[in-house]
Chain A
Amino acid sequence: MAIEHANVLRAAHLARLGVSDAQAERYVDDLSRILEMVDRLSEIDTEGVAPLSHPLDATQPLRADEAIEVDRRETFQSIAPATADGLYLVPRVVE
């Protein structure tokens, strides 16, 4: 399946990646060649084959319901770009 300019811009928007028009053009080129290679998947008949998400047939382990974490806000926020009153700050969100 070919990838078009609009697909790249759409993906860039969904992924919140700033991409200029010129950059998008280059990505159309790169991504087209990658997808062309990926398209070989359609050569294989996979009728009735169950998808495999994990390489091992393992199941989810469960954790005991215990609140064991301590407050490390100071450490965590020491590496944050912008905080005030213990909050992370972002440009105003309009609802």
Chain B
Amino acid sequence: MHDKTLAELARGLAAGDFSSRELTSSLLERIKRIDPALNSFITVTDEQALKEADAADALRHKGEAGILSGLPLAYKDIFCTEGVRTSAGSKMLDNFIAPYNATVVEKLRHAGTVSLGKTNMDEFAMGSSNENSYYGPVKNPWNPKLVPGGSSGGSAAAVAAGLVPAALGTDTGGSIRQPAAFCGITGLKPTYGRVSRYGMIAYASSLDQAGPMARTAEDCAMLMNAMAGHDARDSTSVSRNVPDYTQGLNKPLNGLKIGLPVEYFGEGLAPEVETAVREAVRVYESLGAQVIEVSLPHTSMAIPAYYVIAPAEASANLSRYDGVRFGHRCKDPVDLEDLYKRTRAEGFGDEVKRRILIGTHTLSEGFFDAYYRKAQQIRRLIRQDFLDAFARVDVLMGPAAPTTAFELGAKADPVQMYLQDIYTIAINLAGIPGISVPAGLADNRPVGLQILGPHFGEAHLLNVAHVYQQATDWHQRRPEIKE
């Protein structure tokens, strides 16, 4: 059962081939067996999962089951789940039992899904390798020497290893798409504002967006149907009709105009990744698409702009972790300053501290205009690049990451690590949707094809990805897992 997609499992449940309890128990069993080596889960909620599975089975018995009823999921440990530890991968929140559910969690519960637990992640979603977790690194199921990518590394690894058919991730600069690429699964970052951020622990509020990570575009579409939509509790969520994302999945791609940004195929791109991506583009051509070259002239500015904006927002977002109302508190503080400084020094890891320091510095007096204001101006230029490109083409395609998964500990220098997000980060600055789909294996390491669309174009992206997955089998490749 662990090899099946959400859609297949949904059909199996509907046909009575197995119950949600059977499915859930078998996956919980598999997590117990396999995850100690992977470390993709921070918390497994066995009891609660079985209760939810029984409830879903009971509903089905009454004939009231919905399409997602009884389907198991896992949440990146950044989504607040009532009564369950929500750590954001940080020592700071190791003791934080969330007193409420995130809106997406609430919506997916309402749809009848069963939560198996909370997945590992880079601390506060800061990282591209999942090595920045208080709970230890996650291993890539394709090869335990490799990182799974980050920051949603636990979600990606768990899905790739068949521990759960789908998981939720968040993406601030590539944190869904890059680990999806590294682990050979499908991951969608929706348009900013499409999915509520309420209850999702904030890293950089104007960039963060939740999205589905699963085996196929179809599975992502099923989840998006439940996740997307306006939330009155999130001022930045958009009140715009949510289409049925599963409706147009099979629309033929005749005449589809694909743009290849020249900047996404330049220096720094590993040859094996380029080969796989270009091969994927040829598949699209064979499906009737037209390919043209386009330019996104400010691409090289995306990482610099991001490393001003994201740390600035993070420096304020993370001020609430002060040891007063929740979370870690240092022992026996002698005064207020000691309480703050020691609590935060003990509770946060190195990368989080670096970003807090960068953000605090760039916002401080005398530096604001040169850094923050400048970065926001460039953010507009980057968004304009995409708007101009989408005036000419329907989608953009390129690699999700410059390389395939690298080895644990390979990138000790933070700047080298930041460069991992060269192809993903601009998308968050512009707020557009992007999806990564498996498009090859190089040296038994998955390669991800990234497809980008205009704001609110995720239905079309899912269609473009799904048709490709009907024509190829990369998404069906599974890592060999030692059991």
Q: Per a CB cutoff under 8 Å, which of B96, B345, B380, B432 touches A17?
A: B345
A18 contacts B by Cβ under 8 Å = yes
Contact A40 B300, beta carbon cutoff 8 Å: yes
Contact B376 A53, beta carbon cutoff 8 Å: yes
Min CB distance, B309 to chain A, in Å? 9
Residues of chain A within 8 A of B415, CB atoms compared: 33-34, 37
Residues 223-245 of B at the A interface (beta carbon under 8 Å): 232, 235-236, 238-239
Residues 1-53 of A at the B interface (beta carbon under 8 Å): 1, 3, 7-8, 10-12, 14-19, 27, 30-31, 33-35, 37-44, 46, 49-53
B335 contacts A by Cβ under 8 Å = yes
B348 contacts A by Cβ under 8 Å = yes
Given A1-B370, A27-B354, A37-B307, CB of A81 within 8 Å of CB of B329: yes
Q: How many chain-B residues does the 8 Å CB contact rule pick out?
A: 76
Contact B304 A58, beta carbon cutoff 8 Å: no
A82 contacts B by Cβ under 8 Å = yes
B437 contacts A by Cβ under 8 Å = no
Q: Per a CB cutoff under 8 Å, which of B335, B337, B373, B380 touches A16?
A: B337
Residues 279-326 of B at the A interface (beta carbon under 8 Å): 298, 300-301, 303-305, 307-308, 315, 319, 322-326
Contact B380 A51, beta carbon cutoff 8 Å: yes
Residues 358-388 of B at the A interface (beta carbon under 8 Å): 358, 360-362, 364, 367, 370-371, 373-381, 383
| Residue of B339, B344, B377, B383 contacting most chain A CB atoms (<10 Å) | B377
Interface residues on A, range: 35 or more
A17–B348 Cα distance when bound, in Å, is 9
Residues of chain A within 8 A of B376, CB atoms compared: 51-53
Contact A7 B361, beta carbon cutoff 8 Å: yes
Contact B364 A34, beta carbon cutoff 8 Å: no
B480 contacts A by Cβ under 8 Å = no
A79 contacts B by Cβ under 8 Å = yes
Given A7-B361, A11-B357, A55-B431, CB of A90 within 8 Å of CB of B371: no
B17 contacts A by Cβ under 8 Å = no
Residues of chain B within 8 A of A82, CB atoms compared: 329
Residue of A nearest to B306 (CB): A38
Residues of chain B within 8 A of A49, CB atoms compared: 377-378, 380-381
Residues of chain A within 8 A of B327, CB atoms compared: 81
Contact B344 A18, beta carbon cutoff 8 Å: yes
Q: Per a CB cutoff under 8 Å, which of A40, A51, A80, A91 touches B336?
A: A91
A61 contacts B by Cβ under 8 Å = yes
Residues of chain B within 8 A of A53, CB atoms compared: 206, 376
A41–B287 Cα distance when bound, in Å, is 40
Residues of chain A within 8 A of B193, CB atoms compared: 55-56, 58
Residue of B nearest to A19 (CB): B345
B97 contacts A by Cβ under 8 Å = yes
- Complex A-B, nearest 6 residue pairs according to Cβ-Cβ distance, in ascending order: A55-B431, A18-B345, A51-B376, A18-B341, A16-B340, A81-B329
26 interchain pairs, CB-CB under 8 A: A8-B361, A11-B360, A15-B360, A17-B345, A17-B357, A18-B344, A27-B353, A27-B354, A31-B358, A33-B415, A34-B358, A38-B304, A40-B301, A55-B430, A56-B431, A60-B235, A76-B99, A78-B97, A79-B99, A79-B326, A80-B326, A81-B324, A81-B325, A88-B325, A91-B336, A92-B335
